[in-house]
């Protein structure tokens, strides 16, 4: 099977009923679906409804990647991760959101953008889809910095050599999924001369799931 033939396929099982279990009014909702199985039986599946997100691996001309350290309360860890943000503005282009997040979290701009990867973060429980971009030709942004709040008030920023960051992934020291996926994908792309990257405006049909 070629790489072109190896692909996930959209599909859906009939939903007999669906109930909104929880609405946070912030990031997530929880829905409970009664789903028809292939043998005609039914099973209840709880779904965390999520707007999706983008992440940015910023790579400078010294082959360093930008990581920010942010407190994540559900796992009670301060995680090193790439700049990232929710796609919670209706109709917003993902690339525009990525540019905004790079500016807000790191006060940087980038002259070149490519798609590194698309992923479902936890498909057994949530419909969250993420797109991770590779940003190159990075430079300091002009104008005032974005006024941060909440966890981002105490958010260290560090430039890390790409190979050291990848080694930290394999050592079990980094756990954020965008960091793990993005760093490994960046190293692979670099080793291939960046020739296999998709353009920044590549279609993202999986997000519609």
What is the pTM (predicted TM-score) of this model?
0.92
Instruction: State the greatest distance between any 2 C-alpha atoms of the chain, in Å, as a whole number.
Output: 61
pLDDT digits (tens, 9 = 90+) for 53-83: 999 999 999 999 999 999 999 999 999 999 9
Give start and end residues of each alpha helix (H) in 148-196: 162-170, 177-191
Average pLDDT over residues 133-137: 98
9 falls within a domain: no
User: Which of 48 and 26 is assigned the larger pLDDT?
Assistant: 48
Specify whether 43 is located in the same domain as 61: no
* pLDDT the model gives residue 162: 98
Specify whether 71 is located in the same domain as 169: yes
> Tokens 């940003």 map to which residue?
135
pLDDT digits (tens, 9 = 90+) for 83-96: 999 998 888 899 99
**Are the beta carbons of 201 and 128 closer than 8 angstroms?**
no
* pLDDT the model gives residue 129: 96
Euclidean distance between CA atoms 155 and 170, whole angstroms? 24
* pLDDT the model gives residue 25: 83
Specify whether 43 is located in the same domain as 63: no
* pLDDT the model gives residue 148: 59
pLDDT above 90: residue 143? no
Specify whether 192 is located in the same domain as 119: yes
pLDDT digits (tens, 9 = 90+) for 11-41: 999 999 999 999 988 889 999 999 999 999 9
* pLDDT the model gives residue 43: 95
Specify whether 136 is located in the same domain as 41: no
- Is 36 catalytic? The answer is no
Backbone angles phi, psi at 204, to 5 degrees: -135, 65
Average pLDDT over residues 116-123: 96
Backbone angles phi, psi at 145, to 5 degrees: -75, 155
CATH number at residue 94: 3.90.79.10
Average pLDDT over residues 135-158: 79
126 falls within a domain: yes
Specify whether 137 is located in the same domain as 43: no
Give start and end residues of each alpha helix (H) in 35-75: none
> Tokens 């971009």 map to which residue?
133
Euclidean distance between CA atoms 77 and 175, whole angstroms? 10
What's the domain range around 25? 15-49
184 falls within a domain: yes
List 36, 92, 104, 152, catalytic entry: 152
With CA atoms as reference, report the closest residue to 81 among 15, 170, 180. Answer: 180
Specify whether 25 is located in the same domain as 59: no
Specify whether 42 is located in the same domain as 113: no
pLDDT digits (tens, 9 = 90+) for 168-204: 999 999 999 999 999 999 999 999 999 999 999 999 9
Specify whether 89 is located in the same domain as 37: no
């Amino acid at each position: 099977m070629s790489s072109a033939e190896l692909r996930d396929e959209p599909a859906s099982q009939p939903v007999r009923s669906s109930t909104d279990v929880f609405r946070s009014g912030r990031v997530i909702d929880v829905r409970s679906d009664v789903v028809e199985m292939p043998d005609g039986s039914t099973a209840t599946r709880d779904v965390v409804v999520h707007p999706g997100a983008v992440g940015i691996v910023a790579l400078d001309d010294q082959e360093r990647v930008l990581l920010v350290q942010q407190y994540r309360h559900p796992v009670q860890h301060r995680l090193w991760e790439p700049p990232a943000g929710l796609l919670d503005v209706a109709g917003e282009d993902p690339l525009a959101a990525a540019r905004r997040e790079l500016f807000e979290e790191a006060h940087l701009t980038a002259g070149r953008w490519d798609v590194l990867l698309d992923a479902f973060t936890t498909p057994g429980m949530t419909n969250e889809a993420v797109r991770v971009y590779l940003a190159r030709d990075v430079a300091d942004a002009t104008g005032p910095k974005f006024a941060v709040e909440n966890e981002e008030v105490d958010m260290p920023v560090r430039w890390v050599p790409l190979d050291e960051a990848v080694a930290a992934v394999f050592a079990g020291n980094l756990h954020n999924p965008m960091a793990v996926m993005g760093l490994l994908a960046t190293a692979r792309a670099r080793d291939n001369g960046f020739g296999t990257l998709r353009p920044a405006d590549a279609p993202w049909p999986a997000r519609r799931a």
